[in-house]
Amino acid sequence: MRLYELSFNEIEEFFYKLAEVRDIIKDSGLMSFLPEKELPEIATGTARVKHAFPIFQKGGVIMDVTNVEQAGIAEDAGATSVMVLDKLPYDVRKSGGVARMADPKIIEEVMNSITIPVMAKVRIGHYYEAKLLEALGVDTIDESEVLTPADEEHHINKWEFKVPFVNGARNLGEALRRISEGASMIRTKGEAGTGNVSEAVKHMKIINAEIGALVGMSEEDRVKKAREYQVPYQLVELTAKIKRLPVVNFAAGGIATPADAALMMWLGGDGVFVGSGIFKSQDPAERARAIVLAVAGWEYPEVVLEAQKMISEQKSMMGIDIKSLKPEELLQVRGQ
């Protein structure tokens, strides 16, 4: 079990700090809406409620699904959540055109058929898709580069929503920008729909290295970093203090086998997202179960080996070598 190396171990203070970051952003005029300071007897959608939810996903596998049948397979396999999409990333890549949020009727069907949380994706900067998903009642919104961005310049101000958001990141600056915009969870971007884990590995290592560098820095240099990252200094300081991202960080993008999933846990992921890797394989039910086992028991090679034996490499999804993709075909560069 990894533990935060905390000199800073007051959990309540942790949530409070994130709320403080939000207030700083609000004061700098970037936020128009702030929940009540005085708590009513029952308070929903607070910073604490939003940031707590992803904590209960840790050590879990979140699976992309496109219909009720796939959602049932994911739940039975032990997924901690499903992510509903119109098309799996692999098919988004193949089909081209504009990729938008999934059909709300299908999301609703999935919500009514399983007990685990249901997430769904919106286009980067698409406030209204997010408003619709919030009205529908999804448990988490993924503002995702896998869909075609709606706003090339800005992300959604996530503090305005009561539903938690997850965002992709390729480096620490991107991760902290998303957190300062209100994201409750981060995932590596990887290169979705390729079945190739190399980009997810790269992003996780970059984030780890940049946090390491931050820890060793003087206060003066951290101030400079905060400016470079375009985030409040308090967020940079908090990250250096707890020596990890201040929110839950999952690995995503190209994970296709139990060994891939275990590798990402070993690199420090709090859990994994599996997209095309399961339902673009020939053995989705077995593979889903195997990846759940590999993530839960990642510290033990013999457990991961048992998981890897549950699937057949011949049934894995066909991978795409990143080097064969043209720069304009990369999904990860969308929305920095």
Partner 1 sequence: MKIGVLAYQGSFEEHALQTKRALDKLKIDGEVIAVKRVNDLDVDGVIIPGGESTTIGIVAQRMGLLEPLKEKIMEGLPVLGTCAGAIMLAKDVSDAKVGKKSQPLIGVMDISVIRNYYGRQRESFEANVDLRSIGGGIEKVVFIRAPAIVKVFGNAKSLSQFKDVHVMVQENNLLATTFHPELSGTTIVHEYFISMIKK
* Distance from C-alpha of 151 to C-alpha of 85, rounded to nearest angstrom: 20
DSSP string, 180-230: HTT-SEEEE---TTS--THHHHHHHHHHHHHHHHHHTS-HHHHHHHHHHHT
**Residue 254 marked ligand-binding:** yes
Nearer Cβ to partner 1 (39/333): 39
Nearer Cβ to partner 1 (65/296): 296
Nearer Cβ to partner 1 (146/291): 291
Nearer Cβ to partner 1 (206/295): 295
Which range touches partner 1 (CB under 8 A), out of 6-14, 226-234, 254-262, 319-327? 6-14
117-136: which residues touch partner 1 (CB under 8 A)? 117, 134
Nearer Cβ to partner 1 (3/37): 3
What minimum distance in Å lies between the beta carbon of 68 and partner 1? 12
Which range touches partner 1 (CB under 8 A), out of 44-52, 93-101, 102-110, 258-266? 44-52
Phi, psi of 140 (to 5 degrees): -150, 145
> Biggest alpha carbon distance in the chain?
58
Residues annotated as catalytic (active site), given as ranges: 121
Contact criterion met (CB below 8 Å) for 214 and 236 = yes
R_g of the chain, CA atoms, integer Å: 19
DSSP string, 54-119: GGGGTT-EEEEESSHHHHHHHHHHT-SEEEE-SS-HHHHHHH-S---PPPHHHHHHHHHH-SS-EE
**Residue 276 marked ligand-binding:** yes
Q: Work out which of 7, 12, 216, 327 binds partner 1, going by CB under 8 A.
A: 12
47-66: which residues touch partner 1 (CB under 8 A)? 48-49, 52-53, 55-60
**Residue 193 marked ligand-binding:** yes
Phi, psi of 276 (to 5 degrees): -65, -25
77-116: which residues touch partner 1 (CB under 8 A)? 77-81, 111-116
**Residue 27 marked ligand-binding:** no
What minimum distance in Å lies between the beta carbon of 47 and partner 1? 10
Phi, psi of 123 (to 5 degrees): -70, 150
Q: State both tokens at 96.
A: 């081209």
Q: Work out which of 98, 103, 300, 301 binds partner 1, going by CB under 8 A.
A: 300
Q: State both tokens at 85.
A: 């999409």
Q: Work out which of 23, 24, 46, 319 binds partner 1, going by CB under 8 A.
A: 46
Helix (H) or strand (E) segment spanning residue 11: helix 11-25
188-227: which residues touch partner 1 (CB under 8 A)? none
- The CA angle 302-259-59, to the nearest 5 degrees, is 85
- How many residues sit in the footprint of partner 1 (CB under 8 A)? 57
Amino acid identity, residue 136? Answer: L
Binding residues for partner 1, rule: CB under 8 A, are 1-4, 6, 9-12, 15, 39, 41-46, 48-49, 52-53, 55-60, 75, 77-81, 111-117, 134, 137-140, 162-164, 271, 289, 292-293, 296-297, 299-300, 303
